[in-house]
Chain A
């Protein structure tokens, strides 16, 4: 379970009467705590990654190994696998913290909650999203994508996985503690992920067709910017609703 020493340190004054730590220290502490907890349960992060690879490997078994067909469906399959791997990792965000009361401590801190949860989701992205981005070239090679297309695939996943993490966090927070929360989270978040899927795999397909990809990458970047600015507020509201 979660390490109590890691819980007590961030955000709380160590000496009675001392002023609360600066915003920067509190955010760093929130981020580091998440990384530390994941480091102690490495298996959780790795299983998500393994799921990503397994799902992407199932499709050729289902549709046949025709190289041309695989090259066509490759970007879409890798992106769908990334979506599903992200979905599977969502319970790790809040369930354990909610169960032992750490989440309520997070809500009680003097620092602004949207920034704190942004740090938390950032930590989650570092352990969930970044491994996906790093492994995706291997999957690209499995599907026979050309090198420049793999480059675009990595770039779209790099921009897209933080948004997946943010949107997934909102869904996970809303479904926290409810019956059937796993499926419910999926039902809420998957329609919201559709634009990312369309633009992400569309960019790779455009690159393979020799078309311009700058516009699509800009759109992805715009979605990321919008998500970074608006989702933390929805997320903090969802957490307050779930914890009261």
Chain B
């Protein structure tokens, strides 16, 4: 690992690619980036909600209840994206034996689980006015439910391990096995749903997109994306402090506060 004490003048002309793989370097970097990300996500959220709630037209079929998609769809996309990213960092930590990668995977999991929960909750809220029922065994909602279980399994396994390195590596195996299985699970649930369609109801499709609706959706997706990164960075800073509490730099940091 690049020594943290390399002076800038010595480092001039050489890019230290793995400089920020050290928790000690990453901690202040994350701290600097965080306020920008929080601000960006708030801005994008306000813009997206304005477009979605005010500017977008009322749908011909569903009236105003379709507007829940501006929360539901970004949350669902984030839940799936975060799972893949979490599996990537956990796998990287397993292969390269880097602590920070695994810490970041651990930090991503609660945000991903929250996104999954929001997707399920808003999906349920969408179903009520349009089809009169709180829960529908729709293919996508069922897949989201299974994804929530995968997240909870990852978090439970890490919580049950006392040794953090074992938690990192065991969680990485679970995340990697899970990420290979997610397409299989998704496909099987899709198939199951078509088999059992018959008279059962299907969760409503989003209305065919007017351009305004699409813009609102994109703004909200980026807002959720910025929020997720900010929340994960914030959480990883806490994890770094907790895991590295025996080191000198953390002691110096905490005693000056």
Binding site for B on A (CB under 8 A): 167, 170, 174-175, 178-181, 184, 187-188, 190-192, 194-195, 198-199, 202, 205-206, 223, 230-231, 234, 237-238, 241-242, 244
- In this assembly, does B195 line the interface, its C-beta being within 8 Å of a C-beta of chain A? yes
Interface members, chain B 221-247 (any A CB < 8 Å): none
Task: Name the distance in Å between B197's Cβ and chain A's nearest Cβ.
Answer: 13
Name B153's contact: one of A178, A187, A199, A202 (CB within 8 Å).
A187
A190-B149, A192-B177 are known contacts. Are A184 and B192 too (CB-CB below 8 A)? no
- In this assembly, does B125 line the interface, its C-beta being within 8 Å of a C-beta of chain A? no
A179-B160, A223-B184 are known contacts. Are A241 and B170 too (CB-CB below 8 A)? yes
- In this assembly, does B161 line the interface, its C-beta being within 8 Å of a C-beta of chain A? yes
Complex Cα distance, B161 from A181, in Å, reads 10
- In this assembly, does B37 line the interface, its C-beta being within 8 Å of a C-beta of chain A? no
A191-B150, A192-B178, A198-B192 are known contacts. Are A184 and B173 too (CB-CB below 8 A)? no
Other contacts beyond A191-B146, A191-B178, A242-B170: 4, CB < 8 A:
A175-B160, A195-B188, A205-B195, A241-B169
Residue of A nearest to B190 (CB): A198
Is B195 a contact of A188 with CB atoms below 8 Å?
Answer: no
Is B173 a contact of A194 with CB atoms below 8 Å?
Answer: no
Is B181 a contact of A234 with CB atoms below 8 Å?
Answer: no
Write out, one digit per residue, whether chain B residues 187-200 have a CB within 8 A of any chain A CB (1) or not (0): 11101100100000
- In this assembly, does B19 line the interface, its C-beta being within 8 Å of a C-beta of chain A? no
Task: Name the distance in Å between B180's Cβ and chain A's nearest Cβ.
Answer: 7
Q: Which residues of B contact A190 (CB under 8 A)?
A: 149
Task: Name the distance in Å between B81's Cβ and chain A's nearest Cβ.
Answer: 19
Complex Cα distance, B185 from A12, in Å, reads 42
Q: Which residues of A contact B157 (CB under 8 A)?
A: 174-175, 178, 184, 188
Complex Cα distance, B202 from A55, in Å, reads 31
Is B149 a contact of A234 with CB atoms below 8 Å?
Answer: no
Q: Which residues of A contact B146 (CB under 8 A)?
A: 191, 194
Is B160 a contact of A170 with CB atoms below 8 Å?
Answer: no
Q: Which residues of A contact B191 (CB under 8 A)?
A: 198-199, 202
- In this assembly, does B206 line the interface, its C-beta being within 8 Å of a C-beta of chain A? no
